[in-house]
Structure 1
Amino acid sequence: MNDQQQSGPERPDEPADVEHTLRLPGEQAQQQAPQQAQQQAPQQAQQQAQQQAQQQAPQQAPQGYPQYGQYGQQPYGRYGAQQQGAHAQQGAPSYVPSGPASYSPTQQQGRVYPQPYAGYGTAGPSYPQAERKEKRRGALWPVAVLALVVGLVGGAVGGAVVDQWQEATQDPGRTSGGLADVDTVSKAPLPADNGSIAAVAKKTLPSTVQIIAKTGGDESSGATGSGFFLDSQGHVVTNNHVVAEAADGGEIEVIDQAGKRYPATVVGRSPIYDLAVLYLKNPPKDIKPASLGNSTNLQIGEGVVAIGSPLGLSSTVTSGIVSALDRPVTTGGDANNVASYINAVQTDAAINPGNSGGPLVDMRGQVVGVNSAIATTGGSLGGESGNIGVGFAIPIEQVKVTADQILKDGEARYPVIGASVDSDGSGDGAHIKDVEKGSPAEQAGLEKGDVVTALNDRAVTDSPTLIVAIRSHLPGDEVTLTVDRDGQTKKLQVTLDSKVG
């Protein structure tokens, strides 16, 4: 499941020309309605006029607010040729998940996007456009300045919600009723039960960070996301799409839970798996690494917690369950048109722009995935509508392998068979388009025109499913391909080769 300026104690400043205040849906119309009634009726008829105006008020649409589901442009959203272990045909749709009970080009059910960077479009279905006032602020906002052009609610929702919350809690006496004046409840915090969401949050929040990536020193462009400490030496795991455009010549900053900022460099990236490892230039001595779990032990229905900085709101905790396992998901390509294929953990925990790279944690407080993508009901390419309860995370077992390769060699490798596949979504398997000479596929006897219907015991319904199945293994693994050739079923043993990516 990109992302945005931080909120809370160390939230980056908002734009110099914008200050946001929250107005709930219908609030503006309801406040104006009594005044309109008073102007149109004598004093003795005010009550009747007010009732009529209030009945009409909810029908008035907030002014200037984009329709629910409209999002800003995603800088990380280039859908290009797919150069993979089993290569998909160039031009194949790379923004839809695939596989059984998934989203396919023929189903037209939704789109999958890597979590966009803060400010490059946001979710906020219930908030009208914020008021605008002149006020000078700091300079960090340009990281998300595109929101002012195409989304605006990127800054409005994040800042306005926090401002409203602070206002409500600072003056409890303003609430209706008399409970605020009666001290009948202990103010001491309740202990967090082991295995509770509170206990998971307490354990994992100190290991979670926010990441700001600015492109080539250009204050007007960049991305933000989330991540977590991999070790006590200062290595951080995040999504490749969070830092990709700042990896060469840009600036990357990591912000910990306490709000302290650290410059960071990229140790290595894997566009294929949408993962990256960063290193803090001056790491603190009190780093608390995240506890890594085992995604192979996950069960559908068990509880999980997502932690990150959605919409720039740092240290945000949401919860849900594991909705599905081994979900084939394809996300848009990077700057070099390399798409990411994820053998994903699906969850209904709320994941929004800003959660990219953050941890998905089980109820033992162990990281079981890296939040990377969401499915949306956006009606057009590039459109998004925020969290709808369908989020995807990269399994931690894959993260461990890729991060270890990057730390040892500065690069990651992924398995290939040396064949390309058509991009059609026929549902009967992966159609082999070409076989490279001397490749493992050729040595195993795979031929052009073959239809792969299974890899080991895993059914293959289309090309992305085959690619994801291959990439869930390691280079050097031997796998069994079930192939349909002219109506006859064949079993082929293939030893996986590797490429850098």
Structure 2
Amino acid sequence: MTQDEPRDDEPTQPLGALRPTTPPPTWVPPTTQSPPHRWAGLPPGATSPYSSPYAQQPPFGPPPGPPPRHLAPRGRVPGWLWPVVSVLALVLGVVGGALGGLAYERVTDDGPGTVSEGLAGVDTVSQAPLPVDNGSIEAVAARLLPSTVQIVAEYDGQRGGATGSGFVLDRQGHVITNNHVVVDADENNGPIEIVDQDGNRYKATVVGRSSVYDIAVLYAAKARGLTPAALGSSQALRVGEGVVAIGSPLGLSSTVTAGIVSALHRPVTTGDAGNDSSYINAVQTDAAINPGNSGGPLVNLRGQVVGVNSAIATTGGAIGGESGNIGVGFAIPIEQVRITADQILRTGEARYPVIGAQVQTGRNDGQGAEIDEVMPDTPAEKGGLRKGDVIVEVEGERVTDGIALIVAIRSHQPGETVEFTVLRDGEEKTLSLTLGAETG
């Protein structure tokens, strides 16, 4: 009932009013042929307390007859209760079914494995499983091995073999890996499986992937029982801090290697040889990373994932994943993984920021990134950027070359307004550009 609706309350009596009662019946002297007393309600054979000739009047209070019809006798269930229980059970069943359907739709509303709320709609873990002062590699391995998987991708008739690694993102069956681990199988409709620590295999599909950030999200409906890995922060890392890399190098599943953080914010290119557009602001480590480690977790000593192992440096100076470990590996920061995974879960695609300008990537004199071309009607043109400008800072952070500029831009999100410091005709200028967006 709303406040605007009239109320049909029964009239109340004023304080002190007497409630009308039924006058007591007239007492009838007992006789041997007297009909039963109208107050009796006694079981057969019982003697009425009012059958004595000495009783002059009935006692005070309501008559001791049978209870009113609307009251159930003690010890019996009221007749109206069963229909109520039945209706309540029906309602609970309908509500439970609706909630179950809603939970299912959260993982299937736009496509296999997509979730309309993104990371907020799945059950991830952030709480560190180990204490701050933990120094045990063994403890880290025990916590993370159940959350680390092999990725087996088949394409072009190639069958078998672990092509990479991954880790369990949530309790809904999502797994994180590298784009370059699954791109060939995905483009050629090849089967993809994830293999857990116990050797159980689960068929997986690609929810979405980003070649720009070298991240892919897989979905395996039957892998919902796997333990999610705890997600940490790469921004809290310090150079020299201990880290652990877990994965399937060279097809050797559940392999654990340990090392330290060698450097932070290292601009590098990841992905395979045919994809040179995956630039990341990487965490560098000397933990042994080999082909097959790609997509696996880099973990701090509290047992939290701080990065995704993606590339290694080779003796020829190239950065990729085909040669063996020489003690220089790179991981995508977990902050970027969160952002990209959230976008993929929501729509099946990932977006990245752009300014609409071409930059020289071969120049490496440490003096900045020179602009080769500014496209019309782009953030670069609207913000006042010109061909020949040399960008030396982005949001106050130094830019040494073209790769560093791309990484700095991709560390932000589309729609953000970012300050660029440029050298033009020997003078520094500050330009504000609102970043555009592309999908990839």
TM-score, normalised on structure 2? 0.67
Amino acid of the residue matched to residue 361 of structure 1? V
SS in 1 for 2:231: coil
Measured in 2, the distance between the counterparts of 1:338 and 1:300 equals 27
Q: After TM superposition, list the pairs within 5 Å mapping 1:149-160 onto structure 2.
A: none
When structure 1 is superposed on structure 2, of 244-253 and 365-374 the one drifting more is 244-253
- Displacement after TM superposition at 1:443 (Å): 1.2
Question: 2:294–2:321: 8 Å Cα contact kept in structure 1?
Answer: no
Output aligned runs, 1:26-425, within 5 Å.
Answer: 194-216=134-156, 218-219=157-158, 224-248=163-187, 249-284=189-224, 286-332=225-271, 337=275, 339-378=277-316, 385-423=323-361, 424-425=363-364
Match of 1:386, as an amino acid?
G
Structure 1 distance, partners of 2:318, 2:429, is: 41
- Determine the structure 2 residue equivalent to 1:68: none
Deviation at 1:331, TM superposition (A): 3.0
Question: How far off is 1:219 after superposition?
Answer: 3.0
1:438 aligns to what?
377
What SS does structure 1 have at the residue aligned with 2:139?
helix
Counterpart contact for 1:356–1:373, Cα < 8 Å: yes
Of structures 1 and 2, the larger Rg is shown by: 2
Q: Which amino acid aligns with 2:193?
A: E
> Is the CA contact 2:369–2:402 (under 8 Å) kept in the aligned structure 1?
yes
User: What is the CA distance between 1:385 and its match in structure 2?
Assistant: 4.6
- Aligned partners of 2:284 and 2:406: how far apart in 1? 18
Gaps of 5+ in 1: 1-192
Structure 2 residues without counterparts, runs of 5 or longer: 1-132
Partner Cα separation in structure 2 for residue 414 and residue 326 of structure 1: 18
Amino acid aligned to 1:296:
Q
Match of 2:395 in 1: 456
Q: Which has the higher helix share?
A: 1
Q: 1:378-431 CA distances to partner (integer Å, 9 max, x unpaired)?
A: 489989651111100000000000001000010000111111112322321111
Classify 1:381/1:270 alpha carbon distance in 2 versus 1 (closer, same or farther; 3 Å). Answer: closer
Residue deviations 1:157-182 (CA, integer Å, cap 9, x gap): xxxxxxxxxxxxxxxxxxxxxxxxxx
**Pair 1:222–1:476, CA change in 2 (3 A):** farther
Q: 1:277 is aligned with what amino acid?
A: V
Q: Kindly report structure 1 stretches of 4+ aligned residues shifted beyond 2 Å.
A: 219-223, 281-284, 331-335, 378-385, 423-427
Q: Is the 8 A contact 2:311 2:321 kept in 1?
A: no
Report the residue type matching 2:282 in the other structure: A
How many residues align structurally? 306
* Contact 1:311 1:353 (8 Å CA) reproduced: yes
- Secondary structure of 2:158's counterpart equals strand
Shift of 1:338: 5.4
Provide the TM-score with structure 1 as the length reference. 0.59
Residue 293 of structure 1 and its aligned partner are, at CA, apart by 0.3
Secondary structure, counterpart of 2:253 in structure 1: coil
Query: C-alpha displacement at 1:449, in angstroms?
Result: 0.7
Task: Name which structure has the greater RCO, CA cutoff 8 Å, separation 6+.
Answer: 1
> What secondary structure sits across from 1:476 in the alignment?
coil
Instruction: Tell me if the contact between 2:147 and 2:226 (Cα under 8 Å) persists in the aligned partners.
Output: yes
